[in-house]
Amino acid sequence: MSPTTTRRPGAPGATSAARERLARRSRIAALWLTVASALVVPAWTVVDHVVEGPDVGRAFLGPRLLCAVPLLAVAWVVWRRTPGRRRTTTLTVAAVVPVEVMIGWMVPQVGHPELYVLGGTLMLYAAGAVLVGGAGWTAVLGAAVACGFPLGVLDAGRDPSLQEIVSWPLYLGTATLAAVVGHALRYRAVLAEMRWVTALEAEQEHTRQLVRDLERLSSEDPLTGLANRRRWDEALGAAPGGGSLAVLLVDVDHFKTINDTGGHPAGDHALQQVAAVLWGAVRAGDLVARLGGDEFGVLLRDVPAAEAREVAEAVRARVEGLVWEGLSAPVTLSVGLAAGEATDVQALARTADRLLYEAKGTRNAVACELAAL
């Protein structure tokens, strides 16, 4: 019945906004990592040629180019497709894993393995620095490098030396541990920031809702949910516009008798029922207000005078036909109606007030003064 809908404070908008920012940050990080890797990995072939020789450079060029394909594919999916936005970190790690396996495969086959182990750790540090996800993803990448080692040993056709067996896993393990710890600390800070922003936005939304509630309560009658006298006076004092306007002033007949017979709960119930009838008779742009006590006001905009009179008569008849428990007589209304050009709202309101007193002379009546429109 009430024309105002109240929304509970603390709506989930704040949490959604924070998560959306986190998802956007994740997409940016994924694009940065995949595109940069797709450019750097093939470009590293220059190091292959200079340090290891043309033969090694040519042998490694194919795997490098192949590794760039999933990187670019994931970059495109993250940028343009919905699954890329929902599974950003998973897809990014899946695209980087082949690169790390390739690096582990290269290490046993080159004369300067430290440069290639360094390249693998750089990828670990880069992923740990930009991926928006748990530190376990960095550990997966470190394991991918380790998985490439035995493949490289098989392709190299030689047994690694004791120094290589000790130094490579030690260096890689230390680098992986450092990357995982750094990633974990950074991700913990990201989650703390998200929780803080979420709490802040929730509090801001709560404050905004309180302000909206205060504004609503300052212009709403608490018993009926209609506009109050303050809102009515504001409407009457607004600059008049063009078109037609009808002002209805409505009074509940013998309201004191209703309170005396059925008590104040019966009186409150009668006011609420009358408010429901009035609200159901108007359109979305019209105004219905409780002016105080048992008096109501209605503003009908851009409605023909004859139609305004039909509304007034329908409201009166509808209330008269209601069944009232505990009352010896039906509740009726007296209505004063003034309709005309919307050039002087105050004048129409004064006319409606005078007509209301005329209607109260007989009770259960509509007194009207309609301009020819």
Q: What is the pLDDT of residues 177-222, one digit of tens each?
A: 988 998 888 888 888 888 888 888 888 888 888 888 887 778 899 8
Please give the pLDDT value at position 316. 95
H helix intervals, the chain: 13-43, 45-47, 54-80, 82-86, 88-106, 113-130, 136-156, 162-218, 229-237, 255-281, 305-320, 345-359
Please give the pLDDT value at position 371. 60
* Tens-binned pLDDT, residue by residue, of the chain (373 aa): 444 333 333 333 445 677 788 888 888 988 999 999 999 999 999 999 999 999 999 999 999 999 999 999 999 999 988 877 788 989 999 999 999 999 999 988 888 888 888 888 888 888 888 888 888 889 999 899 889 888 888 887 777 777 777 787 788 888 889 889 988 888 888 888 888 888 888 888 888 888 888 877 788 998 999 999 999 998 888 756 778 899 999 999 989 888 888 888 888 999 999 999 999 999 988 999 999 999 999 999 988 889 999 999 999 999 998 877 767 778 899 999 999 888 888 899 999 999 999 999 999 999 998 764 4
Instruction: Check: CB of residue 320 under 8 Å from CB of residue 330.
Output: yes
Q: List the domains of the chain with CATH numbers.
A: 13-203 (no CATH), 229-370 (3.30.70.270)
Instruction: Check: CB of residue 75 under 8 Å from CB of residue 34.
Output: yes
- CA Rg value for the chain: 39
- What Cα–Cα distance (Å) separates residue 143 from each residue in 98, 131, 261, 269? 11, 17, 85, 74
363: left (phi over 0), alpha (psi -120 to 50) or beta: left
257: left (phi over 0), alpha (psi -120 to 50) or beta: alpha
User: Strand order in 365-370's β-sheet?
Assistant: 287-292, 295-301, 244-252, 333-341, 365-370
Give strand pairing partners of 365.
334
The greatest distance separating any two alpha carbons of the chain, rounded to the nearest whole angstrom, comes to 116
